[in-house]
C-alpha cells in the first residue's frame, strides 16, 4: 500500500513540476525567479529517475550520493534569492544576512556531523551515509532557522512585499521545517523507518509544488502585502530604523 501511495505522490510531483516549469516560462516569472526556475528544472528529471530506480538498489544509493550535494546547493541558492527579493531595497542587510547564513551553516554542519560520528559503523558505506545525513541535517536545519528569522524580520518591520514573495516565504518555511524534522526523525528512530518518513516528506513536497502551481501568478507581483498591521506613524518609525541600519551597514562595507 505504501508503495502505491509513494508512486502516486511521485507522479503527482512530476506532473506538478512539469506544469510549474511551463507556467513559469509562459508567464515570464522565470526571469523574476531564475534560481527557483532552475531548481524546478533540476528537480524534474531527478523525480523521473527516482521513480524508475528501486529504492533498495546500489544504483539508487550512488545516485543519491552524487545528486544530494547539488540539492543542497540549490537549497542555499533559492533561499538567497528569496532573501534578496525580500530586501531588494536594503542591500546592506541582505549582505549581512547572507554571510551570517554561511557562517551558521558551516557551524551547523560541523556540529551535526560530530553528533553523527558516534553512531557510524566502521564500514565505508555507513560512514558515507553518516556524513551525508549529518551534512543534510546541518544544512536544512540552518536554512530552516534562517527562513524563520527572515519571516520574523518581515513581520517585525512593515516591509512591502509582493504576494508571490510572501507565498515563497511561507512554502519554503514549511518545506525546510518538514525536511529538518524528517532528517532528525531518521537519526532518532533509525534508517529502518526511512520509507514512511520519506513518504511523508514526499507528500509535503508535492503539496508545496501544487501550491506554487496554483497560486504563483504574474498578478501576484503587483499585489503588495504588508504582513503586520500597524498604525501609519509606527510603520514609518520602524522603516526609518531599518533604513538607518541598512545605511550603516553599507557605509561599513565601503570602508
C-alpha cell read off for 92: 546592506
Q: For a pLDDT cut of 70, what percent of the chain falls above it?
A: 64
Better-scored residue on pLDDT, 222 or 185: 222
Residues 169-193: what's their mean pLDDT?
70
Neighbours of 90 (CB within 10 A): 22
Answering whether pTM is above 0.75, one says yes
C-alpha cell read off for 240: 526609518
Q: Which CATH number is 104's domain given?
A: 1.20.1070
Local confidence band at 28 (pLDDT 50, 70, 90 cut-offs): very high
Q: Is the four-CA dihedral 171, 82, 17, 222 of positive or negative sign?
A: positive
User: Any idea which of 87-101, 182-196, 197-211, 240-254 has the lowest mean pLDDT?
Assistant: 240-254
Neighbours of 114 (CB within 10 A): 11
Local confidence band at 9 (pLDDT 50, 70, 90 cut-offs): confident
pLDDT at residue number 236: 56
Contact predicate 185/197, CB 8 Å: yes
Domain count, the chain: 1
Give tens-digit pLDDT for 105-150.
777 777 766 666 555 555 566 677 777 777 777 787 788 788 777 7
* Residue 183 structural domain: 2-254
Give tens-digit pLDDT for 65-117.
888 889 888 988 888 888 787 776 666 666 666 777 777 777 777 776 666 65
| Calpha distance 90→102 (Å, rounded) | 19
Q: Residue 16: pLDDT above 90?
A: yes
Amino acid at each position: 500500500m505504501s508503495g502505491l501511495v509513494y508512486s502516486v505522490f511521485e507522479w503527482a510531483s512530476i506532473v506538478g513540476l512539469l506544469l510549474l516549469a511551463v507556467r513559469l516560462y509562459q508567464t515570464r516569472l522565470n526571469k523574476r525567479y531564475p534560481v527557483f526556475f532552475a531548481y524546478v528544472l533540476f528537480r524534474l528529471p531527478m523525480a523521473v529517475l527516482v521513480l524508475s530506480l528501486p529504492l533498495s538498489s546500489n544504483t539508487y544509493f550512488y545516485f543519491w550520493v552524487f545528486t544530494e550535494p547539488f540539492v543542497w546547493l540549490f537549497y542555499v541558492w533559492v533561499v538567497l534569492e528569496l532573501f534578496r527579493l525580500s530586501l531588494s531595497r536594503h542591500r546592506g542587510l541582505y549582505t549581512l544576512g547572507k554571510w551570517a547564513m554561511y557562517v551558521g551553516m558551516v557551524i551547523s554542519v560541523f556540529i551535526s556531523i560530530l553528533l553523527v560520528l558516534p553512531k557510524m559503523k566502521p564500514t565505508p558505506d555507513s560512514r558515507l551515509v553518516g556524513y551525508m545525513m549529518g551534512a543534510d541535517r546541518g544544512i536544512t536545519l540552518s536554512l530552516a532557522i534562517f527562513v524563520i528569522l527572515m519571516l520574523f524580520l518581515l513581520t517585525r518591520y512593515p516591509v512591502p512585499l509582493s504576494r508571490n514573495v510572501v507565498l515563497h516565504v511561507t512554502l519554503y518555511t514549511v518545506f525546510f521545517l518538514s525536511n529538518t524534522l524528517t532528517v532528525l526523525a531518521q537519526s532518532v528512530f533509525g534508517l529502518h523507518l526511512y520509507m514512511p518518513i520519506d513518504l511523508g516528506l514526499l507528500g509535503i513536497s508535492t503539496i508545496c509544488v501544487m501550491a506554487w502551481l496554483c497560486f504563483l501568478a504574474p498578478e501576484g507581483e503587483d499585489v503588495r502585502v504588508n504582513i503586520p498591521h500597524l498604525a501609519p506613524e509606527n510603520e514609518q518609525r520602524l522603516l526609518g530604523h531599518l533604513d538607518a541600519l541598512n545605511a550603516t551597514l553599507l557605509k561599513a562595507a565601503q570602508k
